[in-house]
Structure 1
Amino acid sequence: MELLVSLALLIVGLVIGFFVGRFFQQKQGAGNAAQTEKQVKEILAQQAQHHIHQTRQSLESIENQCEVLKQQIEEYELLLEQGSDEEGNKVPFYGEQATTYLRNNLKQSDKARVKRVSDTQPKDFANAGSGLFVGRTEQNNAEKQ
Structure 2
Amino acid sequence: MTVVTSIALLLVGIVVGFIGGRFLSASAKENKALAEKVTKGEAALTQYQNDVAEHLDDSAKLLEQMNATCQKAMKQMEQSTALLQRATPTESEAMPFFSQETQEQLAQTVKLRHEKKPDFKEETTDEAPRDYSSNPSGLFDDKKQSVTNAE
TM-score by length of 1: 0.49
| Structure whose alpha-carbon radius of gyration is higher | 2
Q: Which has the higher helix share?
A: 1
**Larger RCO, structure (CA 8 Å, separation 6 or more):** 1
What is the TM-score when the length of structure 2 is the normalising length? 0.47
